[in-house]
Chain A
Amino acid sequence: MAAPAAASVALGSEQAPFGVVLLELAARRPDVVVLSADLSKYTDILPFAEAHPDRFFQMGMAEQNLMGTAGGLAKAGLLPIAVTYGVFATRRAFEQVAMALATGPTRVIIVAFLPGLTTPFRATHQATEDLALMRTIPGMTVVDPADSTELKSAFLAAVEADGPVYLRGLRGTVSTLFDPAAGIEVGRARVIRGGSEVGIITSGIAAEWVLEAQRAPALDELDAAHLHVPMLKPFDGEAVLRFCERLERVVTVENHSIVGGLGSAVAEVLAESGSSTRLTRLGVPDVWAPAGSLQFVRKRLALDEDGLAAAIANAPRAQR
């Protein structure tokens, strides 16, 4: 397969990238306002609150009202950023996001932290179906960034959107996988690595899981291609089909339920195109995941380096 040159992967990290990009945007956009639902300390927005107290609205532990209020602020001509955890933004306030933000549509950016398994708690905090829920809403933009570069690029791009944007947030020390100077377009899928024996498609921080897994013995020898898709909606289905064209088997890897997220989006475009490429979906299986550190939970779900490498290497081929 004549794959494009691999995107540069510069492993490093950045501290609180969302807080940084938020301050940067707020400095040049006086219409930016931030709403918090009692999680300011845990979503990297305190520097904004301190720098712009008049533009920071504490809404308390009330996510339905958080979304509705954000809608009203947008209708008053402001650019609201509604910040909370993914579970609460989507499960608790689904109707408010759909009706108050998406029917207009209204330009509000939801930044939703603790994506997928990135929390020590179980189902109460693991946002493992947030992307599925958001993907069903007409006109919604849904982004699952892999690292600090994609998070910042996606946030700045969201400002230009016409309607609501659901952006998964990454907090604290965030990996930098991609070169910030490379001018990443989050709406486009990118080939990270060419290969012919198996294709791997990732979104979100699963990209880093796969980069690690490629060093594991089971995958090291294999000529595996890697496509990364930061945006779940609108979905770059054309790039996915191009990537899958010459591959007998592809594996999706996501920090999300295998129901309704990246795996489903890839399945939809493959099935509708009549492709014979065989798909395997890896991610959180259709169960409530266990509690614990990300390393522990990944291992339990076979999403750790060795588990992923084995599952990808052994992924079933197309049956002729």
Chain B
Amino acid sequence: VSTTIPTDEELAAVAHRIRGTVVEMCVMRGQGYVGQGLALADLMACLYFDELVRDAADHRFVLSTGHSAIALFAALGEQGVYEREELLTYGTDGSRIEESPLEGIPGFEITAGALGQGVSQAVGLALGERLRGSGRRIYCVASDGELQEGQVWEALMSAAHHRLDNLVVIVDNNRMQADGDVAEVLEVEPVPEKLESFGLAAMRVAGDDIAGIRSAFARARATPGRPTGVVLDTVPGKGVPSFEAYSKVHYIRADNGVWQQALSELEDGAQQGGEP
């Protein structure tokens, strides 16, 4: 539990450190889901250094988008749950810092790599915590590509039907998936309108807008009787301009020079006040 509420600037500094960890995690093998990790850094800072630790209730986080594990690992690294040395073994044989881990390691509540399953488990957690009267809230990250799986809509329908106002579903609206741009593979927009029509209180926020993310969470806490859907418009590779410009950013494999360049671009951005 945090003793003081952090400022937006403090959370931006945490997000910057998470981005650095994300890039460093890809160096050993020269590859990884760096785009997703960079895109979600601001959200992870808001969750793990504010929203999840605002009180003693021990709120719960569910990552449905298994491929974005790198962002969660980096955030948990900031929390001291994982040591830096171990995080750097990301994706190597025998490491528990897997690119898409199964449940059971610290911070990973569910097995998420088979996309589309996490929101259902978040619904179960929200129903269960409400039944137990624990006061715990559930935050679940899914992605826009995942919304192509029918199960997600079953889950959203049931969340609204059961009036789960202790549930926040965050859609990482990164506009890309394995085969390319979501608009070309199978369009899912308009996402907020779809969520609203399924009974959620929906809002759209820019992925790097720390004040906006915190305000969306505050609105969710103040919305009785309905789950909240936060559509987070993220930019894959955020904070590293050369990655942001790279269209095939679903998965990056590159030589060491590229990763060193990425680390240097991150530092430049921070020095220029580019964060957030």
Contacts and interface: CB of A to CB of B under 8 A. Distances in A.
A and B together in one complex: yes
Interface of A: 33, 54-55, 57, 59-60, 62, 64-65, 67-78, 80, 95-96, 99-100, 103-104
B158 A103 contact: no
A21 to B, nearest CB: 22
A71 B121 contact: yes
A103 B125 contact: no
B124 A72 contact: yes
A55 B132 CA distance: 10
Given A68-B123, A100-B120, A95 B154 contact: no
Contacts of B109: 75
A311 B3 CA distance: 76
Given A62-B154, A77-B132, A78-B131, A69 B114 contact: no
A62 B121 contact: no
A72 B117 contact: no
Contacts of B114: 95, 99
A317 B273 CA distance: 84
Interface in B73-104: 102-104
Contacts of A80: 124
Given A67-B120, A77-B132, A104-B104, A57 B127 contact: yes
Given A95-B114, A103-B103, A104-B103, A65 B155 contact: yes
Contacts of B126: 72
Interface centre among B62, B103, B126 (most CB of A within 10 A): B103
A183 to B, nearest CB: 33
Given A57-B162, A75-B109, A65 B104 contact: no
B188 interface: no
Contacts of B121: 68-69, 71-72, 75, 100
B36 to A, nearest CB: 20
A266 to B, nearest CB: 32
Contacts of B151: 62, 64-65, 68, 96
B181 interface: no
23 contacts: A33-B131, A54-B131, A57-B127, A62-B158, A64-B151, A65-B123, A67-B120, A68-B118, A69-B120, A69-B124, A70-B124, A71-B124, A72-B62, A72-B110, A72-B126, A72-B127, A75-B110, A76-B124, A76-B127, A76-B128, A76-B129, A78-B132, A104-B104
Contacts of B157: 60, 62, 65
A103 B102 contact: yes
B158 A65 contact: yes
Contacts of B103: 103-104
Query: What is the interface residue range for chain B against chain A?
Result: 20 to 34
B150 interface: yes
Given A57-B162, A62-B154, A73 B117 contact: no
B117 A100 contact: yes
A147 B164 CA distance: 39
A56 B134 CA distance: 19
Contacts of A68: 117-121, 123-124, 151, 155
Contacts of A72: 62, 110, 120-128
A54 B162 CA distance: 11
B102 A55 contact: no
A141 B65 CA distance: 29
B224 to A, nearest CB: 19
B141 to A, nearest CB: 15
A29 B114 CA distance: 33
Contacts of A103: 102-104, 111
B124 A73 contact: yes
Nearest to B130: A76
B124 A77 contact: no
Contacts of B194: none
Contact of A76 (B102, B111, B117, B132): B132
Nearest to B116: A64
Given A69-B155, A96-B151, A74 B124 contact: yes
A227 to B, nearest CB: 37
Given A75-B125, A96-B120, A100-B110, A69 B131 contact: no
B39 to A, nearest CB: 24
B161 interface: yes
Contacts of B150: 64
Contacts of B131: 33, 54-55, 76, 78
Interface centre among A67, A72, A99, A103 (most CB of B within 10 A): A72
Interface centre among B121, B151, B154, B155 (most CB of A within 10 A): B121
Contacts of A60: 154, 157-158, 161
B149 to A, nearest CB: 9
A73 to B, nearest CB: 4
B158 A69 contact: yes
A169 B97 CA distance: 41
B125 A65 contact: no
By Cβ-Cβ distance, the 4 closest A-B pairs, closest first, are: A72-B124, A68-B120, A76-B128, A65-B154
A57 B154 CA distance: 14
A10 B131 CA distance: 42
B30 to A, nearest CB: 29
